[in-house]
Structure 1
């Protein structure tokens, strides 16, 4: 349980910061905690979208069936790309909702 929480928080920071970097325009006006939330949303929603679109037809590997959070053998780079893109969209939405500006 604690491992899951740590992976989610660390992954949320990494995916959120990558999403913030990828987001168009000046999106540095949201706080770090909101960036982490956007990263966690990106991790979960991006994985689910990838699974629905591409992952359901994957064959079993390493003795288990493919699942939404582990769809391929090894590092699933395409799933991570989907996560970052969803996090970037979440950053844009969060920035628009908070309405903060640097000026």
Structure 2
């Protein structure tokens, strides 16, 4: 993967992570950096899955690939939200 490809993945992942977080109702008690990392990972995995399925072979915006990436990011944020708060005690 070229440097431009990595840079593009980071930018797309950042946007996808934020979109996923906005689509989930309620408050997510995870830091923003974790949301961005989840978005980047979801973008890379979604691109790999779309490529394996032949979805990413079109010109222009690959809407199915984008939807797949957002769904993966939503699942990732939900999992991180459920795991991140465990083991931390709230001081009141």
TM-score for both structures, normalised by structure 1: 0.70
Q: Does 1:89 align with 2:75?
A: yes
**CA RMSD between the two structures:** 2.4
Structure 1 residues 58-88: Cα deviation after superposition (integer angstroms, max 9, x where no partner)? xxxxxxxxxxxx4212111111011001000
Runs of 4+ in structure 1 deviating by more than 3 angstroms, as ranges, are none
Work out the number of aligned pairs and report it: 87
Aligned to 1:17: 18
Q: Compare the two structures and name the one with the higher helix fraction.
A: 2
TM-score for both structures, normalised by structure 2: 0.77
Higher relative CO (CA 8 A, sep ≥ 6), structure 1 or 2? 1
- The gaps in structure 2 that reach 5 residues or longer are none
